[in-house]
Amino acid sequence: MDIRQIRYFVAVAEERNIGRAAKRLFISQPPLTRQIQQLEDELQVKLFERTAKGVELTSAGQLFLNESRNILSLIEQAQERTQRAGKGQLGRLDVAIFGSGILNTIPDILKRFKTAYPGVNIVLHQMSKAEQIEALRQKRISVGFNRLLAPLPDIDSTMILQDKLMVAVRDDHPLATKSLINLKELDNEPIVVFPKGARPNFVDLVSRVFQEAGVTMNITQTVIDAVTGIALVSGGFGFCLIPSSASVLQLPGVKYIPLGGLPDNATVDLSCIYLKDDHSPLLSAFLAVVHEYKSQLNHHTSFSAARE
Amino acid sequence: MDIRQIRYFVAVAEERNIGRAAKRLFISQPPLTRQIQQLEDELQVKLFERTAKGVELTSAGQLFLNESRNILSLIEQAQERTQRAGKGQLGRLDVAIFGSGILNTIPDILKRFKTAYPGVNIVLHQMSKAEQIEALRQKRISVGFNRLLAPLPDIDSTMILQDKLMVAVRDDHPLATKSLINLKELDNEPIVVFPKGARPNFVDLVSRVFQEAGVTMNITQTVIDAVTGIALVSGGFGFCLIPSSASVLQLPGVKYIPLGGLPDNATVDLSCIYLKDDHSPLLSAFLAVVHEYKSQLNHHTSFSAARE
DNA sequence: AATTGGTAATACCTTAAAGGTATCAAGCAG
DNA sequence: CTGCTTGATACCTTTAAGGTATTACCAATT
């Protein structure tokens, strides 16, 4: 049995006339007659009664007509869905995020992607940097969001943005009135740092900055993520240096003040990582959204810079 | 797209190796490679990633694998169901019955047919003789049960049994004690007859019998069917002649007594009728059951005749 | 670094089957 | 009885599926 034969059968059943059906199918009548005969032979069932005016369906033929329509429609659907899946418009994308990365940029990107590809089911996984890399290699995830990556041979990354540093400070502290804090002003002040976990990470960046500026760093706590660090600031444990994108988080009694007097490379990047040899259309589609987001981000910041 | 290609695709997806799949399909590797390429070209989707050890499904391929399995299973089902329909094991059979015909024989036949062909949905219609013939011609029904048919050019019939005549009589009537009533004993007695409707019918048979025997027939009521007639006997309206198969009906105060002194042709047949040019397997199957029923009926009656 | 074993891809040929043309046989309307 | 329409058959052409031989590629191993 053959899809062609099924198509032919449906045409004949609908036209109730082999010659007319042949015209509709843009073939001549004899091969159509033969295909129908073959179909009947194979099924060992008479599908049509031959009459003087044409043909008419037997009851078995009527049943087979229904089934045939189902089959053709299922095939059509399969083709369409497969093509959509091939364009990355359908399927499932497993994405890893890290603790505080969820604060603003990542939700924006995910929201854009969901709008552009509503057929794709996004599944989020909270994972540390090391876990993300392992999960990528095991193909449990397709993309991970992260900061401060060391290059790896099998993993590519795309930098999304570079956060400058800010200081989280209690609003009853003398420095809280300033619009810019110089690193030197934090000399020997109590500092909460994060995260715990695989190096290199944000702590290393902060340490390097202090070291290069010759400022003493007085670490009082090392906590798991930015949210916890800022909560400790709110609780009076001291200062906390954060990537500026974490400043969307509002906690009672906490103010965020830009940190000045730093070298240009004192930034922390947000990147997304993915397997170098993953050519799936879903990933490509996702990265396209990321790049679009990135370029709009640049335009926007240059605009606001021009206005200021 | 082609069912063959779908089968090939499933084999390759399952073996994750084109060469192995080719062996399983009893073809050589190159044409299989080509068929898969064609499928990919047609869908414009890469279904497999080619690796050193074989191939592996892309996510679009995974989706298409699911769809393919659905398609193949639907095709298989369609073939099987169509073949069963072709053997008359599946479908719908519209059967017409008449008022009192439902009393014993017809339910027996229907029961047998339902046991032998459980996949067939039997739909019953109550119809008079004339209605049945019209419905047959319009193909609203496939079989009708009836009595006393006049032959028609486009309709065939099969006689199922011939009922002898019996008399329904109130049990308080003097004749009710007899084991056989002679027609002459009904001379000028009040008689209820049935049915109303298209001739020839049961009334005509009864009238003819009276006439040929030279007995005066005193019709007091003409009612629609046997059940009503017997009910009137129960109500004291007189006698009622019935086909013996209607004697399974028990009503208070009514006895059935065989009618004697009649010619051999004083019987009323039960037949089923159908279109002469209906060659549907469902009808054939049904008629086969009818014939089987008939032959068993004959064996049974000859046995009981032998024993008596 | 070269080799070998196993993979899919390609080139070229053979064979099977689908399609086309011409014609026939059957049934119905005039 | 005669066209006219229908599906069926015979025979040829063309398309496409399948086979054989070979190549290109990758990875694991020596």
CA distance A91 to A96: 17
Residue A27 contacts strand C, CB under 7 A: yes
Total residues belonging to chain B: 308
Name the B residues in 79-108 with CB < 8 Å from any A CB. 79, 81-83, 85-86, 90-92
Residue B306 contacts strand D, CB under 7 A: no
**Are B78 and A86 within 8 A, CB to CB?**
no
Q: Which residues contact B171 (CB under 8 A, 6 or more apart)?
A: B253, B254, B255
Among all strands, which nt has the closest C1' to B29 (CA)? Answer: C8
**Are A2 and B1 within 8 A, CB to CB?**
no
pLDDT of residue A286: 95
A and B: number of Cβ contacts within 8 A: 107
Residue B35 contacts strand C, CB under 7 A: no
pLDDT of residue B100: 67
* A282 interfaces chain B, CB cutoff of 8 Å: yes
The per-residue pLDDT string of chain A (308 residues; one tens digit each, 9 = 90 and over) reads: 889 899 999 999 988 999 889 988 999 899 999 999 989 988 888 899 888 888 988 888 889 988 898 888 889 888 988 998 888 888 889 999 987 667 788 989 999 999 999 989 898 888 888 889 988 887 889 999 999 888 888 899 999 998 889 999 999 999 999 999 999 999 999 999 998 877 788 888 888 889 888 899 999 888 888 888 898 898 888 999 999 888 888 888 899 999 988 888 888 889 999 998 888 889 999 999 999 999 988 776 654 443 33
Q: Which residues contact A85 (CB under 8 A, 6 or more apart)?
A: A91, A281, B45, B59, B60, B63, B64
Name the A residues in 1-30 with CB < 8 Å from any B CB. 1-4
Question: How far is the CA of B107 from the CAs of B95, B249, B261, B293, in angstroms?
Answer: 12, 14, 31, 12
Q: Give the chain B residue nearest A70 (alpha carbons).
A: B74
Q: For residue B46, list chain A residues with Cβ-Cβ distance below 8 A.
A: 86
**Are B71 and A67 within 8 A, CB to CB?**
no
Contact A218, A193 (CB under 8 A): no
Q: Which residue is nearest to nucleotide D9 (CA to C1')?
A: A30
Q: Give the chain A residue nearest B47 (alpha carbons).
A: A86
Beta strands (DSSP E) in chain B are 48-50, 55-57, 91-97, 120-126, 143-147, 155-163, 165-170, 181-182, 190-193, 218-222, 239-243, 254-260, 268-275
In the 16-75 segment of chain A, residues within 7 Å (Cβ) of strand D are: 17-20, 29-30, 33-34, 36-37, 50, 52-55
Of B3, B46, B90, Cβ closest to residue A3:
B3
* A291 interfaces chain B, CB cutoff of 8 Å: no
Element (H, E) at A94: strand A91-97
* A300 interfaces chain B, CB cutoff of 8 Å: no
pLDDT of residue B145: 94
Nearest-CA neighbor of B43 among A281, A93, A117? A281
Contact B258, B166 (CB under 8 A): yes
Q: Which domains does chain A have, with CATH numbers?
A: 3-86 (1.10.10.10), 91-161+270-307 (3.40.190.10), 165-266 (3.40.190.10)
Contact A71, B71 (CB under 8 A): yes
Amino acid at B197: G
Contact A105, A249 (CB under 8 A): no
What distance in Å separates residue B277's CA from the closest CA in chain A?
Answer: 11
Residues (pLDDT < 50) of chain B are 303-308
**Are A85 and B63 within 8 A, CB to CB?**
yes
Contact B218, B191 (CB under 8 A): yes
Q: For residue A75, list chain B residues with Cβ-Cβ distance below 8 A.
A: 1, 71
CA distance A64 to A51: 19
Residue B46 contacts strand C, CB under 7 A: no
Q: How far is CA B79 from the centre of its chain?
A: 24
* A283 interfaces chain B, CB cutoff of 8 Å: no
